[in-house]
Structure formats: C-alpha cells, structure tokens
Amino acid sequence: MCFLSSRRMSMGCHHHRHPIQCIIPPHMLDSMKENGDEDVQKAIEEIELYSDELRSQRHDTTDDMAWGFVEGLFAVEGGVFAGPQTGLNRRVYNAEESTDLQKTLARSEGEDPHSDDAVNEAYDGAGATYNFFKESYNRDSLDNKGLPLVSSVHVRRKYNNAFWNGSQMAYGDGDGRIFTRFTQSLTVIGHELSHGVVQFSGGLTYRGQSGALNEHIADVFGVLTHQHKHNQQAKASDWLVGKEILAKGIKGDALRSMKSPGSAYNDPLLGKDPQPKHMEQYVNTSRDNGGVHINSGIPNHAFFLLCMELGGYAWQVPGTIWYNALQELNNSSATFDEWAERTVQTAGKLHGAGSTEEKAVRNAWKGVGLLTPEARTPTSVSTPTETSAPTEATAIAPTEAPKKKGFWAWLWGLFGFGDKS
C-alpha cells in the first residue's frame, strides 16, 4: 500500500469537490466587483478563479485519514510508520506570494519567533485556538487526535481572503486598500480553524440552513477563542468577527457583528452588511450556497442573547452547550429549528430540565423568531434576493471523526481506530 504525503495528495486529487470555507463571503466580493475600479474588479476575478481551482482540489482529511494522507498520521521516519501524534503541533509555511501552500517551512512547533510577523501571527493564533478547545472542552486539536495545525501565509500576491481547505489554513496579506493582513485577526483564525472542528464532528452540509449553521458555529468558536485568549467576559466583548482586517478608510467595524447583525459595515465599496438577526428578515437566495454567510446572523444573534442573559465567560456554560450539541447532532442537513431544539435538549441534559440555563437557551431562540408557535422555517432556496477559567459544565466526549460505511469502516478498523460504522 502506498502512503502519500498530504502535499502530494492536495495537488493530485482533483476528483474531490468540496466547498472551500473562506472568510470573505461572495456577497462582499460581488459588491467590490460592482463598485470597485478596474484594479479591484480584476483582483476579484482572480480571487473567483482561484476559488474555483481550490474547490476542484479540496479534500476533507476525514475522507482520507485511513490512507495516511494526513501529515503526522503515518509519516515515514527512518523507515518506520509513526503512529498518530497528540498535543499541540504547529507548522507555518511561507507560500511566498504563490499558490504552493507548503513552499517553504518557516516555523515549526517549539521554535523561536520568526522575523516575519505573519508567520508568528499564524503560529500564535493556531496555538490560541488549540488551547481554547483543549482547556474548555478537552478537545485535542481539530480532530481530537492531535491533528497538526498547518498554516500557510503570504498566499498569492495581495490576496484578499483566508480559507480552510479541509486540511490546513491559508492566509492572504490583503491589498492594503480594502483588507489588511488576515493573520492579524484571532477571530478570523479561530473561525477558519473551527470549520475543521465542525468537519471532524460529523460535518454540516455547506448549503442553506445547515451551511449557515456551519458558518454560525465557526463564528461562535472564533469569537470565543478571542474571548478565552483575553480572559474576557461576555458583556465586555464587542462580539465582532474580523475587525482587525478592514483597511484604513473602509467604513465599518468588522466583517460581522453577532451583537447586531446587519450593522458591521456600510461602505461604498463593500456595500452594506446584509445579515438578518431575526427569522422575519431571512434572506432567500441562490448565491453563497443559499446565503450561508448571510443567514448565519440569525443563530449568531441567538447565541449573543444567550450569553447576555447568562453573563460570565461565554465559553463556559453557553459554549459548552453549543460544543456538546454539535457532538450530538448527527444530522449534517440540520435546519435552524433542529439546531435550536438540539441546544435546548443539550442544556437540559447538562443542567437539568427546567433549569435556568435551559430556559435561557429557549428564550434566546425565541428572541430571533425560532421555537415559537408562529415560527415558520424556510425550507427551500429561491431566486436570488440580494441586499445592499475551567468550564462550569462537563463537556461530553467529542466525536473523533465522521462515521465510515462499508469498505471504509473495515479499513478504519484495520488501522486500529475502532469501529466507526
């Protein structure tokens, strides 16, 4: 059997077709393309072409782990296959303004800081994200098996985006006119790496409401990573995602606001933040995989309301409820209603039926128009409608990977990972 490196696989497996989770949403790129000058329009066209290329190459490490595609899982060291690693293991590569994500290794785990700020920011951000999940929910990296946290900086020239490609992070430097260096924002780093946690927890289909939940959960854990790093209580947080990456002169506070969806920015080039914060404002669109970056504002605001009601550190009670609900979901196509019910059930399981925590979760969802008798959750996507400290609750053991079926179940067991069928 041939064990390929993750680099070779990522370059050669063009048959995999999966969405790439980028921090800059399509509706923002559309506005930039429509309102920008010739240079901006050309840059956006290049981003779109590169995104198409990435989607054709993307693989999920959960699909390929049994074959040893993930670095560190079956690495050849002195002719011997090394077993899975555990603990914090970071590697940061310098793409040197190319698309070769692993062109030059710049910093490995335990090495001294680099002279390149972007390298250190990616390294430190990955560490802060790892520590957040480990200290809050006892999760050992994204897959709960010590998956190496691989990042690439200086991807393409003046690249206005950052993304999780299914196995690693990639960060652009921004053009300095619209966006600045993406590694400057811990909420961006935490958000993108949290897509990996969702992926290894069974996944949420990246379309419609399940896709919006995917984005929502990444926003939640991205913001909680920032709060955890700075020991910040819920009521002291600004609840903004990506506030550090907007260039000087852009009229806005951040990419998204969980406190007040729809208010993050209002700029001649970027357009106006289209996120709703209530089901009455739900946006039906075929763009952005059914509005995954838009309608995520609704569950985002529900989580904010919950944290305001409970107070304290948001990664403790609220975050633990959300984390455990994700582990128990078992439905990759979950709707907002289903996710809301799951979080209420999880709160009841952790804190007791009728508890203050369970009631607070239910109240938060009611505050955005869900879990009410009159609530009507949209079920289809229509024609585009575009708009200009230790935890206080014990975390349930996280799932280690999506379930395998048939041949994959056999192969999974062959390498000693247990029965995942």
Which tokens in the block code for residue 134?
Answer: 């480990």
Say how far apart CA 201 and CA 143 lie, in whole Å: 8
Contacts of 27 (CB under 8 A, 6+ apart): 271, 274, 287, 288, 293, 294, 386
Q: Is 216 known to be catalytic?
A: no
Q: Give the integer Cα–Cα distance in Å for 117 and 200.
A: 30
Residue 127 CA to residue 149 CA, distance in Å, equals: 9
Please identify which residue in the block is written with the tokens 């970056």: 293
Mind giving me the DSSP string for 202-262?
T---SSHHHHHHHHHHHHHHHHHHHHHHTT--GGG---EESGGGBPTT-SBS-SEESSSTT
Whether residue 226 lies in the annotated active site: no
Indicate which residue of 59, 121, 154, 192 is catalytic.
192
Concatenated DSSP letters of 308-366: HHH-S-TTTHHHHHHHHHHHH---TT--HHHHHHHHHHHHHHHH-TT-HHHHHHHHHHH
Torsion of CA 19, 23, 25, 31, to 10 degrees: -140
Cα–Cα distance, 350 to 345 (Å, whole number): 9
Q: Which of 293, 301, 351, 358 is catalytic?
A: 293
Tokens of 357: 């925590």
Q: List C-alpha distances in Å: 229 to 89, 164, 191, 226, 380.
A: 18, 21, 14, 5, 39
Which residues are catalytic, by number? 192, 293
